[in-house]
Structure 1
Amino acid sequence: MEFFRIIDKQTTEEQLQKNILPTTIDRFTETMLFLESFNSDFKGVTLWGEFNISYHKINGGVRFTLLDCPNALSWTITTGFPPERNKIVVHCTINRIQKPTEFIEEIEEFLGEWEAGLFENF
C-alpha cells in the first residue's frame, strides 16, 4: 500500500537534507524520538514502538525505513519531482495490499504529524 501527503511549501533537496536528520525528527513529529546512532542507521521510538531505522539522503530529499518492521514501513520526503515538483512530497509505503482499518488510520496519523511538522519548519 502507498500513501502520499503534499505539503504546499517550496524548498530544495539541500534544505531537506540539511534539516531532516535522525537527531531532528522530534522537531517534525510528536511520536518519533531519536535514541542512538549506528552509522547511517539509528534506534528510534515511533508510534508503533522502538525500531532500528535507516536514514539515507536520496535524490530529492531523504528516506527513512523501519528495518525490523513486519510491514516494511518506509517513507521519503522529497521535492523537485512529480507529483508536485514545487512542493514537499511525503510518500509512505508498506509491503501489504490490505491492512486493518486501525493500522491504516495510524499511518494516516503518522503522516499527518510529518505534514504538520514539515509545514511548520519549512
Structure 2
Amino acid sequence: MEFFATAQCRFTPDHIQDQVTGPRLTEFCASIDRVLEWSDAQDAGEVYCLWGQFRVRRERIRDGVRFTLPGCPNALAWTITATPEGTLIHCTINRCEHEPDFIESIEEFIADWVQG
C-alpha cells in the first residue's frame, strides 16, 4: 500500500538531506516519540514511535531522504523529497490491504510529517 501527502513548504534536496536527520526525527514528526540511539557513521539507530520500538535506517536519495524500518513486519518505509509542488511525503508497506486501524495510524504518521 502507498500513502502520499504534500507539505506546502518548498525545500531544496540539499536542505532536506542536511536537516532531516535521525537525531532530529522527533522535531519533524510527532508520531516519533524518542530517538533512543543514533549512529551518524551508519546513519541508523533506534526510535520509539506510535507502533513501538524499531530500528531505523536513513539514506540519501535523489531529491531527499528515505527511512526504513528493517524489522517492521510490514516493511514500512517513507521518503521525504523536494518537488515543484512542495515537499512530498511518501510511505509504503508491503501489503495490499490491512486493518483499518493500522491504515489510520499510517495516515496519522503522514499527517504528522506534513505538520513537521
* Structure 2: segments with no counterpart, 5+ residues: none
Task: Give the equivalent residue in structure 2 for 1:98.
Answer: 97
Task: Give the equivalent residue in structure 1 for 2:74.
Answer: 71
The DSSP-based 3-state class of the residue aligned with 1:67 is coil
Task: Give the equivalent residue in structure 1 for 2:13.
Answer: 13
When the two structures are superposed, what TM-score results if normalisation uses the length of structure 1?
Answer: 0.88
**More strand per residue:** 2
Report how many aligned residue pairs link the two structures.
Answer: 113
Deviation string, structure 1 residues 53-72 (Cα, Å, up to 9, x no partner): 01011110010011100000
Cα displacement (A) at 1:9: 1.3
When the two structures are superposed, what TM-score results if normalisation uses the length of structure 2?
Answer: 0.93
Contact 2:31 2:49 in 1 (8 A): yes
Task: Give the equivalent residue in structure 1 for 2:27.
Answer: 27
Q: Which amino acid aligns with 1:36?
A: E
2:43 matched to 1:40?
yes
Q: Which amino acid aligns with 1:29?
A: C
**Counterpart-to-counterpart distance in 1, 2:90 and 2:110:** 9
Task: Give the equivalent residue in structure 2 for 1:120.
Answer: none
Contact 2:6 2:85 in 1 (8 A): no
